Each structure stands twice: as structure tokens, then as C-alpha cells.
Structure 1
Amino acid sequence: MQVPVLQLDAFATSRFAGNPAAVVVLPAFPDDAVLQAVAAANALPETAFVVPSGDRYRLRWFTPTVEVPLCGHATLAAGAVVCERLEPGRRRVVFDTASGPLTVDREGAGYRIDLPVRTVRPVPLQPALAAALGVTPLETFVDGGNHLALLPRAADVRALAPDLAAIARLDRTGVVVTAAGDGEHDFVSRYFAPAKGIPEDPVTGGAHCALVPFWAARTGRDTFLAHQASPRGGELTCRLVGDRVHLHGACVLRREGSIEL
């Protein structure tokens, strides 16, 4: 059986920027082992698997090594595929996922995704976290599956060269680092998740589910222009709306074809 596969750069306005994702369109989900094998072969941070379901779609996400409960950039990419390839002209699509219904709306030259807030709580600094990062954070937090480390300056976030093997041994599967912005951006961040097969994620929608309420609580604001300072980099317009986070970004199609399952 041949099925469509498309590769897009999400949270980007030009190719080879932002975060790459594959979107595979299926009539039904095959065995998980097949989905994982396809994601491993794609060798991208995330592969989104989309299945039509009435006027909605079912959506699952896999890194090269594991299935994850939420992925923002691959949801953005899946929305672009639905609105530009599967149903050209469609303005809104709802995906049923492990994180509940997620909506993607066309907005200007890009798309807005609606994601659930992740609760952030302060925790004492773990010496192993500081050692893995190679710096001592000002404050540390957790958002469920991730550590979140606040650094003194945006320049510290950009210059960070963590020990990825040590990060993979921590008691949570990912580490978000952040600092207040030093230019046009309100805050900057990076995200490391080697335990999930992603040494550094280029632009992470899911991390902003925690970063947006985190910075909202510190600033009293609800709207931000954020920059994820990975080597590829990406810019996100973010808004806190109750217990939801709205992220706006564009997608650029890079490759289109099919695979045999």
C-alpha cells in the first residue's frame, strides 16, 4: 500500500529553517511497530501520522525512537497539509489526539495552533542538572516530563553546550532552558531531549505550552514574541488564553512523495 508523505519546515518562512516534520496520511493506523519504523526511517524530530475521521482527523506523533503525547510543530505541519493538500482552501481543522482535540486555524500567511497549558512548578536545583548543562541556573522548575531552567541572560542560552549524554540520564526526558530576551524577542529558549531521540529540537511547540504561562506569571503579560535559539532557529508569536496556549507560525513544504507500507 502506498501512502502520501510530505516533509515541511514548521515555524519557518523559508526552507531549511524552523523545525522539520514529516506528515504521513493513512487510511487507518497500522501496528505501532510500523509507525515507529517509518518515523525512524524519516530521521526527523517528529513524524505526524494523520487519519481522516469524519470532518476531523486523528493524529499521532513519533520521534525516531518513541511515541510522544504532544508535538506542536508537527501539528502545525499536519494542519498545513490538510488545508493546502488534502482539502485546499479549508481554514480550520480539528485533530483528535492523546492530548485532546487540537485546532489549527489559517491566520494571515501562516497558521495558529491551540494547545493545552502545561503547569510549571518550582523545584530545588538538582546538581546533576547543573552539571549536565555546564551552568548553574538562577531557578529550576518542572512541567511534567521536562526540567525547565532559567538562565541569567539570553546570551547564556545561545552559548549553552550541554552534555547530552548526561541530560539523557536525568530523571525527566527533556530539558528546557530559557531567559528573558535581549532584543525584539520577549524570551528565548532551547530544548534538549536525547532520551527521546532528539538531541536538540529546533523549534518546540510543546515546550512553549510551559514557557508561555511561565513568562506570563513573571511579567503579567499574555502575548509574546519568542525565539528558540537552536542552530536552525525559529520565531513564534505566543498568547496565553485561559488554560490554552496559542502559537502562530508558518510552514514551508520541502518534499512530497509516497512510501510503501
Structure 2
Amino acid sequence: MKYYVVDAFADNVFEGNPAGVCIMDDWIPMEKMEKIAIENNLSETAFAVKEGNSYGLRWFTPGGEIDLCGHATLATAYVVFRFVEKNADVLHFNTKKANHHLIVRKNDDLFEMDFPTIIPERYHLTDLMVDALGAVPVEVLRTSRDLIFIFDSEDTVKKLTPDFSKIKQFPVGLSAYVTAKSKEFDFVARAFWPKINVDEDPVCGTMYCSLIPYWREQNGLDKMVARQVSKRGGTVYCEFCGERVKLSGRAALYLIGDICVDEE
């Protein structure tokens, strides 16, 4: 099976968020995809199969399948545009776990993803949250899947050293996002996923589905530039479009190889 590793939301290799990508003729058993994701040990490995005029798409973390992933979608689109459908400028993906319809457009060296808007709601702060994060947020928000912590200082977000074992104890929230207003960018953010064995995701595309509507409410901007301030770092170009958001970024190819598996 042909295998690619692409650094998504990256201007150069070794930046952004690496994702594994497998473009297949037919689906292989779910257990095989889970094992490949564990063996690859990246935050996500994407599997795609051409189905009519679109691609079926699934993402697996080392801890199991996930319902929505931005950076691995960008990485998959990069591979399809470059190696499979070289004359295409728009790709459609239908996700298998949550039945999302995702669109990716190629605009010069930027890849623009059309994702659903996720509106967060206010949530309450607990002592466990403060203890786990090591700092006191000014606001806590929640989506159906994730927790969002708003801080009043960009430096605080950059310097956080969370206790991941305590984040795992949060009774709600598959992930913990932290964000603050920025001087150089419109806002900065980080994403922690210890519950699925990914302590910090270098650049988390789906996080921006909920951060874009929040920050638009704060600053009134439909278009924003965000910076994920993880160790690797990455820049995300954001646009609010009502019920949809657009996430754009660049990508860099790191690896092309072959996975040797028994498909019986």
C-alpha cells in the first residue's frame, strides 16, 4: 500500500502537523487501519477511497477513529492533487464516521478547506481544570466534543505546561483547546488530546471550526490569520462563512513509501 507523510499547515518540512495518508482502491478492514495508525504513531493517519465523484475519508489516531480532522484532510487533498488528480482544482470528501461533506480547493500554493461551523457554548470552570492547565482562564467554552479555554495573555498560552494526566480526568471534552488574542496574528491557540494518546497536536484544523466563530464575535472580523504556537508551529488562514468556515494552509511532502501488510 502506497503511504505518504505530509506536513500540513506548513511552509516547510518539519513544520505544521504531520499526517499519514493512504489512498486506496478499496477499503481494508477497520482493524487493519487501526493497527496502521498505531504503527505510524502520528496524531492522524487518513484513509481515502474514490467513490464516484468524491472520496470516502476516515481518520485514525493511535487511540482509535475520530469524527473530524482538519490537518489530515489537507494532507489527503495535497496527495490527491499532486499524485492522483493532477488537473483537479476542487475535491469533495464524504467522511465515514460523522457523515460530513468536506470540500478542498487548490488556490496556488494554498489549500482551502470548507468545514462546518461549530458554535461553542459557555461552560463552568473547575479546580481540576485550573490544576491541569496550570493557569486560570478568563472563560471556558464547550462544544459537543471539546473544551475551549480562553486566556487574556498570548504569553500564557505559549508557556503553558499542562498536566496531561489530569486533562485525562476531565469528565467532559475529548480535547482541551487554549487560545488568546495575539499581537502579530489575530489569535493564537494550542490543542491538547491526551485522551486519545496525543498530548499536543502541532496544528489542529478542526479546532478552528469553533475558534473562528468565537473570535469573530470578539473582533468582528470575517477573515483572520491564526497561529498555532506549538513547538512545530503552523499558520491557519481563517474565514467565517455563516454555517461553514474556510481553513487554508500550505503543505510540504516529507515521505513517500510502501506499507507492507497482509490484506487477507
TM range (shorter): over 0.9
SS in structure 1 of the partner of residue 105 of structure 2: strand
**Where does 1:151-190 land on structure 2 (aligned, <5 Å)?**
151-171=151-171, 172-183=173-184, 185-190=185-190
Aligned 1:1-150 pairs, distance under 5 A: 3-97=1-95, 98-150=98-150
> Which residue of structure 1 aligns with residue 258 of structure 2?
258
Q: What code does the residue aligned with 2:125 have? A: L
Secondary structure of the residue aligned to 1:132 is: helix
Are residues 1:241 and 2:236 paired?
A: no
Q: Deviations over 1:146-190 (max 9, x none)?
A: 11001111010000000011111112211000000122x000000
Does the residue aligned with 2:206 lie in a helix, a strand or coil?
Answer: helix
Superposed CA offset, 1:210-247 (max 9, x none): 00001011112111000000000000110000111101
Q: CA deviation at 1:89?
A: 2.3
Distance 2:216 2:89 in 1: 29
Q: Would you say how many aligned residue pairs link Structure 1 and Structure 2?
A: 258
Which consecutive aligned stretches of 4+ in structure 1 deviate over 4 angstroms post-superposition?
Answer: none
| 1:230 and 2:230 matched | yes
**Cα deviation per residue 1:19-71 (whole Å; 9 max; x = unaligned)?**
00010112222221111000011111110001111121100001111100000
* Contact 1:82/1:88 (8 A) holds in 2: yes
**TM-score, with structure 2 as normaliser:** 0.96
Shift of 1:108: 2.1
Flag structure 1 segments of 5+ consecutive residues without an equivalent. none
| Contact 1:66 1:197 (8 Å CA) reproduced | no
Partner of 1:220: 220
1:12/1:19 contact within 8 Å kept: yes
TM-score (normalised: structure 1)? 0.97
Instruction: State percent identity of aligned pairs.
Output: 35
Unaligned 5+ segments in structure 2 are none
CA distance in structure 2 between the partners assigned to 1:188 and 1:113 by the alignment: 19
Q: Aligned partners of 2:99 and 2:135: how far apart in 1?
A: 33
Instruction: Quote the Cα distance in structure 1 between the aligned partners of 2:239 and 2:131.
Output: 33
Secondary structure of 2:148's partner?
A: strand
CA contact (8 A) 1:70 1:99 kept: no
Shift of 1:121: 0.4
Distance between the aligned counterparts of 1:151 and 1:180, measured in 2? 8
Check whether the contact 1:14–1:252 (CA below 8 A) recurs between aligned residues. yes
C-alpha contact (below 8 Å) 1:119/1:144 kept by paired residues: no
Look up the SS of the partner of 1:245 in the other structure.
Answer: strand
